[in-house]
Each structure stands twice: as C-alpha cells, then as structure tokens.
Amino acid sequence: MLSLAGLHVLVTGGSRGIGAVVCRRFAAAGAVVLVHYRDRHDVAESFLNELRAVNDASHLRFAADLADPTQVDAMFEHVAREWGRLDCLVNNAGVWEADELSRFDVDVYRRTPWTSTSSAPSSPSPAPCRCCACPKGHPSSTSPPPPASAARPTTAPTRPPRAH
C-alpha cells in the first residue's frame, strides 16, 4: 500500500458512507484525517475513535453546514490552527432529499451539487501550498497548476465522420 504518512487530509461528509470508506483508506495509509460531518456528533466521534485505532495520528472531526460559507471558513481556519496546512481535500459531502422518483424535485437536485462543491474556503490558504510553494495555495491538489502557457482549446475537439 502507498504510504501517505504525515499528509493532512480533509474529507467532507467523512463520517458515514463513501466518505467513511475514504477516511479509513487514508488512515490505513498513514495520513492524518479531518472528518467533516454536518450534525451527527455521536456518529462522528465513534468513527474518529475507529480511525485512531487504525493509526495514532491526531485525527480531527469538525461539524459544519457546507451550504454556509461562514461555517466553511471556520472549518478551514480550524485546519490552519490545528495542522498549519492541508495536503488533500476530498469533496465528498452531498445531499439527496428525494425518496421516490415520482416526487423528484428539480430544485432540490439543482441545489445538491453546491453542497459538495462549494466547500472551498473564501479566504486564502493559511500557508503556501506544498506542490509549488505559491502564496495562493492549492488545498485540494497535490500537483501544481498547469502553466499559463498551457492554454486549453476554446472549442470541443471534432471527431471525423464515421464511414458507413
């Protein structure tokens, strides 16, 4: 297994389901994990104890509603205070409120991705990133951003016509 010893990882929605599996894998590889959850304190604390049994790193938990930018900022400030850096961000949290396709609410569906993708801090990262030491930081990436000269095409590539 790949060693991730010493890396600091934040997994949103990390106390249950797929997020918990991701947290377990990171902990098994030696990473230090911050388990984000919204409101199930008992589940998060129990899960944190499970991670501590996997490795004795200083795993953390943090409750936040990711739809509230103030709470997201508070979570990243907590990471900065406790760890001083963040090496990996896994945006796993999401909400699924529909229980029957016949009662499916398009507005709920449209809100759902924002829960998992808006969890980037609105303030700059607390320390230069590890990937390229730039002052902006790239908390969700372990590789540097592409150079400015690597411009992406503005149109989609075209496929040659198929022969019949």
The answer, yes or no, to whether residue 97 has pLDDT greater than 90, is no
Q: What angle do CA 15, 5, 43 make, to 5 degrees?
A: 10
The answer, yes or no, to whether residue 148 has pLDDT greater than 80, is no
Least confident of 51-55, 66-70, 106-110: 106-110
The tokens of 147 are what? 């150079």
The tokens of 22 are what? 């991701």
pLDDT of residue 133: 47
DSSP H helical ranges for 31-119: 41-54, 69-82, 106-117
> Per residue in 77-113, is it b (16+ CB within 10 Å) or e — as a string?
eebbeebebbbbbbbbbbeeeeeeeeeeeeeeeeeee
In the chain, what are the domain boundaries? Answer: 8-117
Of 78-82, 113-117, 129-133, the range with the highest mean pLDDT is 78-82
What value does the mean pLDDT of the chain take? 74
Give bridge partners of residue 62 from the DSSP assignment. Answer: 36
Angle, to 10 degrees, between the axis of helix 41-54 and the axis of helix 17-28?
Answer: 20
Backbone angles phi, psi at 89, to 5 degrees: -120, 125
**Domain spanning 8-117, CATH class:** alpha beta
The answer, yes or no, to whether residue 23 has pLDDT greater than 60, is yes
